[in-house]
Amino acid sequence: MEKVNYGESTDKRVGELEESVISINRCSKVVKGGRNFSFGALVVVGDKLGHVGYGYGKANEVSDAIKKGSEAAKKSLITIPLAGSTLPHAIEVKYRGSKVLLRPASEGTGLIAGGAMRSVLSLGGVKDVLAKSLGSSNPANVVKATIKAIQSLRSKDYIVSKRGLSSL
C-alpha cells in the first residue's frame, strides 16, 4: 500500500487529522529514593478520509507520552483502499497473539467493531464493516493486527491492473 507522510509542518492536511488515545501504560522502577514512574501511550490518528496511522510514545509524563505517540502516528500513516464506505473484501490477519477478522458490510450497517479496532477503523473513514477481534485483547497487538489487515487489502482496480485484464 501507499505510505503517506503527513509529518511535514508545511503540509496543509496536518490540521485535519484527529487523534485517539487507545491506552496508557504506567511502568514503575524502584530506586533508592522510592519509585520512578514512566508512561507509554498508544495513539491512533486519522483523517476519516482513508488515512490512518498509529504510534507509541514513552515519557515520564502522560502528556509528553501522548505527544510523542501522536508524532510517531503521523509519520506512519497508510492509505485504506475503500470500496465506497466499506472494505473491498474480507480478510483475516494474525499478529502475535491477536487475530482480527474484517468483513465488508452493506451500506447503512455501521461500524460494528470493538475496542482498539473501532478507533482505527473509524479514524480511517470506514463507515460500514463487520469486525471481530479474536485471541489476545492486548490493545497494542490488536491495533497492529488491524493495521496489518488494512495493508493487506487490495482494491478491485489494483487486482485488475496486476492481472493485465481490461475490466471485470
pLDDT reported for residue 32: 93
pLDDT reported for residue 5: 43
pLDDT reported for residue 37: 95
Which regions in the chain score pLDDT beneath 70?
1-15, 167-168
Q: Specify the DSSP class assigned to residue 137.
A: -
Q: Are residues 17 and 47 in the same domain?
A: yes
Q: Which of 132, 126, 112, 17 is nearest to 80 (CA)?
A: 126
CA dist 88 and 90 (Å) reads 7
Q: Are residues 86 and 60 in the same domain?
A: no
pLDDT reported for residue 125: 93
Q: Are residues 151 and 85 in the same domain?
A: yes
Q: Decide if 40 contacts 56 (C-beta within 8 A).
A: yes
pLDDT reported for residue 106: 94
CA dist 11 and 55 (Å) reads 19
Q: Are residues 89 and 31 in the same domain?
A: no
pLDDT reported for residue 11: 38
6 domain residue, yes or no? no
What does the mean pLDDT of the chain come to? 89
118 domain residue, yes or no? yes
CA dist 151 and 111 (Å) reads 19
The whole domain housing 86 covers 80-161
CA dist 76 and 116 (Å) reads 17
CA dist 64 and 72 (Å) reads 12
Identify the CATH number of the domain in which residue 91 sits. 3.30.230.10
143 domain residue, yes or no? yes
Q: Are residues 96 and 113 in the same domain?
A: yes
CA dist 56 and 136 (Å) reads 19
pLDDT reported for residue 22: 96
pLDDT reported for residue 133: 95
